[in-house]
């Protein structure tokens, strides 16, 4: 792979740096994905709450 080629050319010192960069990027990507999921879930919960409130108001009227 690309990482192995760089590691072989740059010697053993460059491979851990590349590995660390991969880990940091993966962690950052995972965190951003998780944060986005939380936002989506929060929006969903708000929508459900609104629906329940409307339904309750409708029941009271009827």
8-17 pLDDT, tens digit per residue, is 565 556 778 8
Q: Let me know: does 2 contact 14? Beta carbons within 8 Å.
A: no
User: Quick check: 15 and 7 in contact, CB under 8 A?
Assistant: yes
Query: 2 falls in which pLDDT band (50, 70, 90)?
Result: low
| Cα–Cα distance, 11 to 48 (Å, whole number) | 56
For 34-62, what is each residue's pLDDT tens digit? 999 999 999 999 999 999 999 999 999 86
Does residue 28 surpass a pLDDT of 90? yes
């Amino acid at each position: 792979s690309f990482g192995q080629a760089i590691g072989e050319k740059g010697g053993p010192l460059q491979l851990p740096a590349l590995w660390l960069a991969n880990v940091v990027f993966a962690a950052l990507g995972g965190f951003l994905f998780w944060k986005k999921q939380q936002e989506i879930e929060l929006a969903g919960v708000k929508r459900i709450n609104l629906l329940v409130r409307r339904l309750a108001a409708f029941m009271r009227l009827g």
